[in-house]
Structure 1
Amino acid sequence: MKHSKPNVGERVEPTRFLHVDGGICEIGQPKQRWSVLFVYRGRHCPRCKRYLNKLNDQLSDWTAKMDVIVLSADTKDKAVADREEFEWRFDLCYGLTVPQMRDLGLYVSDPLSKAETDQPFAEPGMFAMRPDGSLMLADISNGPAARPDLDELLDGMIFNIDNDRPVRGTT
């Protein structure tokens, strides 16, 4: 299926996501500071948990420079269960729809069994956005084993923010 994806250097399509504490998180709108969106596969994925636990351990370093949003297609109950089990402190959102997955250019998988989950879900993605809502950096994977190293990503993001680096890889 052909679908669009956000282009670096361009404003991300304004999109709202439901926050587990009520309210919403938004991307693609002007903000006071940089933001990064991490999309994870959902409660069924142990690799996602390890990755997000490491992010949670580093969270103060991330939030010193940018807002952090984490999102999946899970229900609110599943997202809340993860947050409580792992004591996640980042903004956690849920209910990512297949059209939203496609708008972000994410790979979409169907569950292999009911034991995995009961609905299509997004494979991992990461999107870093400037305060004006434009996309600075994107990483999209078709499976849980391929993701950016969080230490390298944080170091690079801090460098980009502190030095107001231009967008790369536009052609």
Structure 2
Amino acid sequence: MTDTKPRVGERIEPMTLPMVGSDEMVVIGGDKPRWSMFFVYRGRHCPRCKRFLNKLNAVLPDWSKHMEIVVASADTAEKAAADYAEFGWDFDLCYGLQESQMRALGLYVSSPLSEAETSTNFAEPGAFAMRPDGSLMLVDISNGPAARPDLEELLDGMIFNITNDRPVRGTV
């Protein structure tokens, strides 16, 4: 299977996933009323993901002033709902990310080290910022759980980009 990478500055195909406590939602791509940020996490098995997402939840009011926030993993509905209930997150949490969707986003994909970790392939972390027209402004992907964007720095940069209508970088 060939991995692809979405092109910044271009509209990307809308991707729909089921959401904890609701129906499906378009998590990336498509027209939206405002800027949006889509975070992908490894899943319930990852303690580093929980730390990152707990930090995100703590600063969510600051983020929500500027952008819609959606988080997703390849987890099952049961695993995602268990995380949502355990941690009391306030952001929209989606699940069921398929391997073809991971690859379409250019994410690194890992297989479980054991059944205790999880039972299926899963995406490594990623963050995708989109303009209201569905075009991709910024991409941050990692091949492992230890490399994550600094949420304060990322938000500061996104506020600057939004306020100043900055052009997309990295297109050459």
**TM-score between both structures, scaled by the size of structure 1:** 0.98
Q: Matches of residues 4-153 of structure 1 in structure 2 within 5 Å?
A: 4-26=4-26, 27-153=28-154
Separation (CA, whole Å) in 2 of partners of 1:83 and 1:121: 18
The residue matched to 1:96 in structure 2 has which SS?
Answer: coil
The residue matched to 1:58 in structure 2 has which SS?
Answer: helix
Root mean square deviation, CA, Å: 0.7
Residue pair 1:25, 1:69 contacting (<8 A) in 2 also: no
Amino acid at match of 2:4: S
Residue pair 1:12, 1:133 contacting (<8 A) in 2 also: yes
The Cα shift of 1:23 comes to 1.4
Amino acid at match of 2:5: K
Amino acid at match of 1:11: R
Amino acid at match of 1:23: D
The Cα shift of 1:2 comes to 2.1
Amino acid at match of 2:145: P
Amino acid at match of 1:12: I
**TM-score between both structures, scaled by the size of structure 2:** 0.97
The Cα shift of 1:53 comes to 0.1
Separation (CA, whole Å) in 1 of partners of 2:64 and 2:12: 21
Separation (CA, whole Å) in 2 of partners of 1:12 and 1:87: 31
Amino acid at match of 1:10: E
Separation (CA, whole Å) in 1 of partners of 2:3 and 2:113: 23
Separation (CA, whole Å) in 1 of partners of 2:52 and 2:118: 19
The Cα shift of 1:48 comes to 0.3
Worse-matched range after superposition: 22-31 or 90-99 = 22-31
Amino acid at match of 2:8: V
Q: Which runs of 4+ in 1 moved over 3 A?
A: none
The Cα shift of 1:158 comes to 0.8
Partner residue of 1:3?
3
Unmatched segments (≥5 aa) in structure 1: none
Deviations 1:109-143 (A, max 9, x none): 00000000000000000000000000000001000
